[in-house]
Chains A and B, each alone.
Chain A
Amino acid sequence: MTRARASSLLRHLPLALAVLVLVLLLAAPQLFRPLFATVNPLGATAIYDRASLWSLTLDHLEIVLAAGLVSTIVAVLLGIVVTRRDGAEFMPFARTLTNLGQAFPPVAVLAIAVPLLGFGFRPTFVALFAYGLLPIFENTVAGLRSVPPQTIEAARGMGMSRGRILREVELPLAAPLILAGIRISTIINFGTATIGSTVGAKGLGEIIVAGLQSNNTAYILQGGVAVALLAILFDRIFAIAISRTSRHRAVPA
């Protein structure tokens, strides 16, 4: 095996391991019983069985990705607006908004949102959406500002419209940084989403909450491990996407 092959395998090892363990954990949680049994209190079950781990994972994915998608759309649009010549005046507004979304604790958002939106998916979605805006917005702004002015000048001088320059020059060049923002936001929200279970949103937080209520460390560990694996999985997926979009750079990200 060549050194390049070996190093590329090594690079993808975390991804492969995360997928492997996650699939095993979801498909056959009983396999892990001896492991979790070491930390669960006597007499209690070691494996959460009130809902399938598999469906909880899908719910968890759904809410994080849905909130992430909407955060991305809003934050990227805001980032585009404030970096336009006529949009610079919206910068203070956009900064305040996204900072507030991040600084306001998600638990507090839940507390406020539940009376308005009811229990379950919706308040959690709002909390995650607000919490995820800042990194995407800031990275979009940084990415768009990092495009060399001569590149834009040349594009304009060759007859490209502003819209085309945005689509074909600015966004592709800013893509690695924008993706890095989405990556941070998503990874953080995989963890943050667990609090949604306190207001009845379906997700892996349910296992952790159950563990806390019944003093069952095995549950807490199980939920935590599943969330962490999801986070690692997506971290690797984003890493690949970022290196794809940076292939024109001298030093791949």
Chain B
Amino acid sequence: MITLQNLTKIYGGVKAVNDVSLTIPDGELWALVGTSGCGKSTTLRMVNRLIEPSSGSIQIDGVDVMAMNPQALRLGIGYVIQGIGLFPHRTIAENIATVPRLLGWKRGRIAERVDELLHLFSLAPGEFARKYPHQLSGGQQQRVGVARALAAEPPILLMDEPFGALDPITRARLQMEFAQIQKRQKITVIFVTHDMDEAFLLGDRIAVMDKGRVLQVETPENLLRRPQPGFVSDFIGLDDRVIRLLSLRTVDEAVRPAAPGRWREADGAILDGTTGKPVAPVRPGDTMREAASRIIWENTDVLPAVDAGGHVVGEVLASQIWAQGSR
């Protein structure tokens, strides 16, 4: 658990971070969002003491970080920044091994861990371990940056716009990969981003900052349904909120039984039982947003639902999806 209490940082009389209090439970990912210069990075960097607070306190599991040796503190906290900061003169394997080496792990254990992480981030060890950072694409370098931060299995990860410089497709893939790893390993994450979509996709909670202050902290759904008027509403952009609400949920919970014969399976395709026309079904894990797109495109009010094997298990009504997107 990370607790920020009345955290303030003053630069030349200006409060870059102003009286911020947050309590982040173990295993959750909290997104800090806001426009550039609102104090996100400064807040983050006070957690691992790269910046000393002007006032207020930070506790990790009840221990004040100011009472800890800064280097020891940082060894236990993963840190990923936008510029990645890979060591250009060290190989990928050496980069990932940085913190384990600082912690004095045995050589064999380090090698094993590096291998494991390269696999986890879809980087074939045989191909990548001995390469230098400049020989990798931006997306691959960013993967290595995250892998390096996770090397010593820190319970806490601080991420400052880690996927900011990537193309949309690479970014989306890394976001999904990372979300899975974070949930599986129950890592507590503070994630700085100015990209609302990223915050909604990854955040268990979203803290919206403006001019050094945290204005609102909410789950994605509550933030969309009940944003504070003013900056928060403007920043979130209410025009898209239905789409965003639908992105938050999967269709699985909306699947209901279909009448016998309503849908037919033929050679892997699903046919409408009454018209005989093929229709694209919803699959497990599809978001309601994807289902809504298909419903609008097909100009229908119901879609068949299939299981992972492609067999019809029921159907999803448009009205149930619309209900999810309304107030």
With A160-B102, A250-B134 as known contacts, state yes or no: A151 contacts B88, CB within 8 Å. yes
> How far, in whole Å, are A161 and B70 apart by their CA atoms in the complex?
9
- SS class, residues of chain A in contact with chain B: helix
Residues of A in contact with B, size category: 20 to 34
Question: Judging by beta carbons under 8 Å apart, are A156 and B88 in contact?
Answer: no
How close is B161's CB to chain A, nearest CB, in angstroms?
12
> How far, in whole Å, are A28 and B72 apart by their CA atoms in the complex?
64
Instruction: Flag whether B83 is at the interface (Cβ < 8 A).
Output: yes
> How far, in whole Å, are A155 and B88 apart by their CA atoms in the complex?
12
How close is A103's CB to chain B, nearest CB, in angstroms?
35
Question: Judging by beta carbons under 8 Å apart, are B99 and A154 in contact?
Answer: no
> How far, in whole Å, are A249 and B102 apart by their CA atoms in the complex?
25
Stretch at the interface among B74-82, B207-215, B253-261: B74-82
Question: Judging by beta carbons under 8 Å apart, are A248 and B88 in contact?
Answer: yes
> How far, in whole Å, are A62 and B172 apart by their CA atoms in the complex?
62
Instruction: Flag whether B87 is at the interface (Cβ < 8 A).
Output: yes
B133 neighbours in A (Cβ, 8 Å): 248
Q: Which of B88, B102, B133 has the most CB of A within 10 A?
A: B88
Question: Judging by beta carbons under 8 Å apart, are A155 and B134 in contact?
Answer: no
> How far, in whole Å, are A169 and B83 apart by their CA atoms in the complex?
16
Residues of B in contact with A, size category: 20 to 34
How close is B49's CB to chain A, nearest CB, in angstroms?
10
Instruction: Flag whether B132 is at the interface (Cβ < 8 A).
Output: yes
A250 neighbours in B (Cβ, 8 Å): 134
With A158-B75, A160-B71, A173-B88 as known contacts, state yes or no: A153 contacts B134, CB within 8 Å. no
Question: Judging by beta carbons under 8 Å apart, are A159 and B74 in contact?
Answer: yes
Question: Judging by beta carbons under 8 Å apart, are B74 and A153 in contact?
Answer: no
With A169-B87, A172-B89, A248-B89 as known contacts, state yes or no: A158 contacts B74, CB within 8 Å. yes
Q: Which of A152, A158, A169, A248 has the most CB of B within 10 A?
A: A158
Instruction: Flag whether B285 is at the interface (Cβ < 8 A).
Output: no
Question: Judging by beta carbons under 8 Å apart, are A157 and B81 in contact?
Answer: yes
> How far, in whole Å, are A247 and B134 apart by their CA atoms in the complex?
11
Instruction: Flag whether B57 is at the interface (Cβ < 8 A).
Output: no
Chain A 211-239 interface 0/1 with B at a Cβ cutoff of 8 Å (1 = within): 00000000000000000000000000000
Instruction: Flag whether B86 is at the interface (Cβ < 8 A).
Output: yes
A161 neighbours in B (Cβ, 8 Å): 71
> Could you tell me which residues of chain B, from 35 to 63, have a CB within 8 Å of some CB in chain A?
48, 50
B85 neighbours in A (Cβ, 8 Å): 148, 150-155, 157
Question: Judging by beta carbons under 8 Å apart, are A159 and B86 in contact?
Answer: no
Chain A, Cβ-Cβ closest to B74? A159
Question: Judging by beta carbons under 8 Å apart, are B134 and A248 in contact?
Answer: yes
> How far, in whole Å, are A250 and B83 apart by their CA atoms in the complex?
18
Question: Judging by beta carbons under 8 Å apart, are B74 and A173 in contact?
Answer: no
Instruction: Flag whether B232 is at the interface (Cβ < 8 A).
Output: no
Residues of A within 8 A of B (CB): 148-161, 164, 169, 172-173, 247-250
Q: Which 3 A-B pairs have the closest CB atoms?
A: A154-B85, A150-B83, A157-B79
With A148-B85, A151-B85 given, name 5 new contacts (CB 8 A): A153-B85, A154-B87, A156-B50, A158-B79, A158-B99
